[in-house]
Chain A
């Protein structure tokens, strides 16, 4: 506080005030933040040089797809970043959400459930089911999260990583091989697009309704996530992440708390799954391979574990780099036929880059690009020599309140 008083106009103090205001009015600051981002992005997409890369509508479509990954990253951050449980099979819950929607919103799914819904009503009405299905998808995914978590969360952290990895492998295999109820490799197609009372069913040609809905969903999920983390439960999660034994000794029911983190993280993936399915209008097992899980993990790690805005930005940036920048680089070097670079497929390089980035981040900046300040402190004190410990802690305490 004293630093702020000494130089009231400095950048640092302004940042601190902003942080204070945003933590006092958390939900409003999220609404305002998402609204600003949501307005700036379409403007950027409508001006050169961005229009040279891809047309505005393709940008908007891409932003919505990026939003799916932002949701996934927020959910995984709850599990990995806040509660410290490494989940390597997160795509499984994404898949479960998507398939849940497909059962209600496709002719094939309806025939499995033994109902006639999509064929009977008009698309404008069938699409209304999308909105409650966001919740249902979340609930079903959470249910599976509990089913997986209840027996395994008692295990040590790294065993949990392996079990979730195995689960992430099993779920697509089940969707692939249980032909009778999932239509196997082909997946389920012809899903109803979302609809709203006045504008009717969303269309593939107009990216705006999807874009705006995505903004609303992200804002709501982000608000809930922040509320959770700042609640009693959130403090319990952080305590467990720091030291599970100490947390248990302080009276936290660690199994329940971990189970809730797992279930709530899964439910976010379920929401993302429903949204993604409604946008692609089809679900198939190959959409949910381990690649998705690892991509989201890379987003969370690079963005900054524990910080929701950080992981959201991380997810958005990585998605855009993967799906726009690398393609544009390919086209560019093909056109100018630059000797070596034109032969490199930059999209193929994506996982090499993830790998290098993950290792580099862990070695030199384990708190991520946009760190949660408390997490940053704790990572740096944990890794320095005992003698330096006090010094670092003292420095860190003087920055208190920046979060």
Chain B
């Protein structure tokens, strides 16, 4: 398990039923997935996976930043929203695309370029924000950076609103709406593409954190900043890279969101960010595997609520989940027990 805080050793938490636990860990999720599939049907199941993938990509940024500097980066949801706007500006306003592109030889480079530009731009924005707004407050009381983050969130939203107006802006759905037929179920190719992109990015992130020098620097900084510094880790650079990666992933989620839903609005980031944060907490904050898992679970909760006819209650159910998780298991599904640190 490649959790961000190096302290969370798998299985080191509770020594109960040690022989049964690995088995249960596989069986229970498998049963839940099969149950969800049987309950929702294949189309909604894929829909839930797609939404979950987007939430998971956003949640990774929350969890990484929280893991390393213990800040709830309220502006992170807005990074996702801005990523969507960068992509729609590039595809729709600079290249002038509107409809879907069916030739794969043209589509592939466009998609790669959209992801690349959005991730680079958002990464740069993320690092800039960290440098200007959060870095000076590292030694300040906890409330100060939190309030700053809220302020940054307002600023980002309103910059976008001033530029694009308070209404929805169309984002070109360049991905052709082709369905892949499996048995009786029709599954949109775009959904599969989104899920694959998200999973590839998550695996790449895991490898980066687990196998590279910088990844090790991130883990050690998260575990104990002072000790890491004494060991020669460049703390400022490591924190900046964490913001860079988190913001780039949010940018990628923004691109995906534009392809999937075709519209973006300046305040999209608020609800999405809140849900993604719920996902991060659900998975165990600071734990990247947990954040991805939490993202998918939130996707299933939301789509499940719609399937059951509670679509209007969707957000309330998600936040209700957050409250329940925080009350009964504040460490999340995969996190270590933190307890209260005053």
Using a CB–CB distance below 8 Å, which chain A residues touch chain B?
Answer: 80, 84, 86, 88, 151-152, 154-159, 161-163, 165-167, 169-170, 173-174, 176-177, 243-245, 290, 294, 297, 301, 348-349, 351-352, 354-359, 361-363, 366, 379, 382-383
Contact = CB atoms under 8 A, between A and B. Distances in A.
B281 A162 contact: yes
9 contacts: A163-B322, A170-B316, A177-B313, A355-B158, A357-B151, A358-B150, A362-B144, A366-B140, A383-B140
A152 B147 CA distance: 20
B316 A348 contact: no
Contacts of B155: 352, 355-356, 359
Contacts of B158: 348-349, 351-352, 355
A98 B154 CA distance: 27
| Closest A-B pairs by Cβ, 9 of them | A355-B154, A358-B151, A244-B342, A166-B319, A352-B158, A355-B155, A359-B151, A151-B327, A362-B148
Contacts, number: 139
B258 interface: no
With a 10 A CB-CB cut-off, give which of B144, B271, B281 has the most chain A CB atoms. Answer: B144
B102 to A, nearest CB: 40
B154 A382 contact: no
B162 A352 contact: yes
A165 B153 CA distance: 14
Contacts of A152: 323, 326-327
A354 B155 CA distance: 8
Contact of A166 (B145, B147, B274): B274
Interface residues of B, number: 50
A379 B330 CA distance: 29
Nearest to A362: B148
Interface stretch (B111-119, B131-139, B292-300): B131-139
A84 to B, nearest CB: 7
Contact of B146 (A86, A170, A245, A363): A86
Interface string B259-291: 000000000001100100110010000000000
Nearest to B321: A166
A354 B152 CA distance: 10
Nearest to A89: B319
Nearest to B155: A355
Nearest to A366: B144
Contact of A358 (B147, B159, B315, B323): B147
Contact of A162 (B72, B153, B270, B327): B72
B136 A297 contact: no
Contact of A161 (B72, B139, B340): B72
B152 A359 contact: yes
Nearest to A171: B316
Nearest to B75: A355
A351 B151 CA distance: 9
A173 B274 CA distance: 15
Given A165-B274, A173-B315, A294 B327 contact: no
Contacts of B145: 362
Contacts of A357: 151
